[in-house]
Amino acid sequence: MKMRRRTFLRYVGATALGVTTLGCLGKQAATEKVKEGVVDETGKITVYSGRGENLIRPVIERFSESTGINVEVRYGKTAELAATILEEGKNSPADLFFAQDAGALGALSKENRLLKLSSSILDKVEARFRSPKGEWIGITGRARTVDYNVKLVDKRELPESIWGFTDPKWKGGKIGWAPTNGSFQAFITAFRVLEGEEKTREWLQGIIANDPQEYPKNSPIVAALGRGEIYVGFVNNYYLHRFKAEDPDFPVAHHYTRGDAGSMINVAGLGIVDTTKNQNLAENFIDYMLSEDAQRYFATKTYEYPLLEGISVIGPQKPLSEIITPNIDLSDLDDLKGTLKLLQDVGAL
């Protein structure tokens, strides 16, 4: 009996030792964490970014170099990071949230997790590209386009209006789309605002009648266009250049529709999380992303639209003035829910 108890205690002791060791591992990583209630003056901010590392690391490094502020970035999927910030609650280590789409910012705003930005920052960008409540701000925009395979489709066949794609000549799996993708859903939301619920439903049903092929998101659509698997695809503008960079003979080109939701702008933006202890540094970050230097980077390196008002550099894109963006709050989740319901009703989702 005594032997057994000793062995049991030995076992417990070993477990405790193990747990403590692991805990120390954890502590080591955590020593950089700031004590509660103290403003951190050490010049470090944490960004949760749904924007890809390959695209924005250079510009973040430029920020660090020019300001001396250390930036730690957690890269991930926008929606998952939003859910993480919400689950972390008041213990969230995040100072900033860099979202790939406005909907995610809206999700945080709805639960009052974003701080109101100062007006000097908000004024840098047109009202249609920022939160009506001033809680997030668009940094760059991506235009919706209809990309097409140049070998399979003659440029002249392409309709001027997005409605043209409901024509039966696009039947039989020629169209590629991504109903689960955030940018597509934002496009449908814009459609509903511009043309009304009934018209949007009609358009969706028209496309579905043409038997479109479904993809999980934008880049598989562009890849499929390259393979000739589909003829046209509803995507964002900036993926094509990535494919062309890896293969200059990639047989796909942009087509923009005129004056309708088909060529709207989606916004990638920043918001300051309410648990930040570095509000000033966070605002510096946003400030930098809206500076000419950074906006020029986005325009020429990532092929996105700079949103800084009055900037002259636009890179190799269609001018912003030719792009319609309806005056709606793209981060309005209730609006997004309406879009989802519509998509589910017509059977697209």
Partner 1 sequence: MYPEPNPTAKNGVSNPNRLPLFLLFSALVVAIGMMLPLTYLILRSASLGDEAWNLLIHPRTIQVFVNSAFLALAVTVISAIIAVPIAFLTVRTDLPGRRYWSIATALPLVIPSYVGSFAIIAALGPKGSILQNWLAPFGVDRLPSIYGWTGAVLSLVLFTYPYIVLSVRASLHSLDPALEEASHSLGYNRRETFLRVTLPHLKPSIIAGSLLVALYTLSDFGTPSLMRFDSFTRAIYIQYQSSFDRSMAAILALLLVLFAILILLLEYKARGKAKYYSSSTGSQRPPRDIELGRWRWPALLFCSAVVGLALIMPLGVISYWLLQGISMGEQLMFVWQLALNSVYVSSLSAFAVIAAAIPVCILAVRFPHTLSHLLERSTYIGFALPGIVVALSLVFFGAKYATVLYQSTAMLIFAYVVLFIPQAVGTIRASLLQISPRLEEAARSMGYNLPKTLLKVTIPLARPGLLTGAALVFLTTMKELPATLLLAPTGFNTLATSIWSSTNDAFFARAAAPSLILVAVSSLSMIAIISLERRKDEKVKK
Q: Is 334 an interacting residue with respect to partner 1 (CB under 8 A)?
A: no
The amino acid present at 145, given as its one-letter code, is T
Residue span binding partner 1 (CB under 8 A) among the ranges 122-130, 212-220, 281-289, 321-329: 212-220
Q: Is 53 an interacting residue with respect to partner 1 (CB under 8 A)?
A: yes
Task: For the CB of residue 173, give the shortest distance to partner 1 in the complex, in Å.
Answer: 9
Compare residues 159 and 179 and give the one whose CB is closer to partner 1: 179
Residue span binding partner 1 (CB under 8 A) among the ranges 61-69, 90-98, 156-164, 254-262: 90-98
Distance in angstroms (rounded) separating the CA atoms of residues 19 and 16: 5
Task: For the CB of residue 193, give the shortest distance to partner 1 in the complex, in Å.
Answer: 18
Residue span binding partner 1 (CB under 8 A) among the ranges 21-29, 119-127, 133-141, 313-321: 21-29
Residue span binding partner 1 (CB under 8 A) among the ranges 73-81, 126-134, 257-265, 286-294: 73-81
The distance of Cα 241 from the centroid of its chain, to the nearest Å, equals 18
Q: Is 7 an interacting residue with respect to partner 1 (CB under 8 A)?
A: yes
The beta strands (E) that lie in 4-136 are given as: 44-49, 70-75, 96-99
Q: Of the candidates 114, 97, 48, 103, which has an alpha carbon nearest to the alpha carbon of residue 76?
A: 48
The tokens for 108 are: 């945080």
Q: Is 256 helix (H, G, I), strand (E, B) or coil?
A: coil
Compare residues 164 and 301 and give the one whose CB is closer to partner 1: 301
Compare residues 34 and 320 and give the one whose CB is closer to partner 1: 34
Among 17, 74, 161, 196, binds partner 1 (CB under 8 A): 74
| Beta-bridge partners for 109 | none
Identify the burial level of 100 via C-beta atoms within 10 angstroms of its C-beta, where 0-12 means exposed, 13-18 middle and 19 or more buried.
buried
Q: Is 213 an interacting residue with respect to partner 1 (CB under 8 A)?
A: yes
Draw the binding track, 103-142, toward partner 1 (x: CB under 8 A; -: no contact): xx-xx-----------------------------------
CA end-to-end span of the chain, whole Å?
A: 64
Q: Is 324 an interacting residue with respect to partner 1 (CB under 8 A)?
A: no
Compare residues 22 and 313 and give the one whose CB is closer to partner 1: 22
Q: Is 255 helix (H, G, I), strand (E, B) or coil?
A: coil
Q: Is 8 an interacting residue with respect to partner 1 (CB under 8 A)?
A: yes
E strand or H helix at 148: strand 137-149
Chain residues 250-309 in contact with partner 1, contact rule CB under 8 A? none
Task: For the CB of residue 259, give the shortest distance to partner 1 in the complex, in Å.
Answer: 27
Compare residues 74 and 258 and give the one whose CB is closer to partner 1: 74
Q: Is 270 helix (H, G, I), strand (E, B) or coil?
A: strand
Strands 232-236 and 175-177: parallel
Q: Is 147 an interacting residue with respect to partner 1 (CB under 8 A)?
A: no
Q: Is 222 an interacting residue with respect to partner 1 (CB under 8 A)?
A: yes
Contacts of residue 275, Cβ cutoff 8 Å, sequence gap at least 6: 88, 90, 91, 92, 93, 94, 113
Task: For the CB of residue 124, give the shortest distance to partner 1 in the complex, in Å.
Answer: 26
From residue 214, alpha-carbon distances to 72, 79, 178, 240, 300 in Å are 36, 20, 6, 18, 31
Q: Is 91 an interacting residue with respect to partner 1 (CB under 8 A)?
A: yes
Residue span binding partner 1 (CB under 8 A) among the ranges 125-133, 136-144, 200-208, 242-250: 242-250
* Residue that has been written with the tokens 């999700």 in this structure: 107
Distance in angstroms (rounded) separating the CA atoms of residues 31 and 232: 52
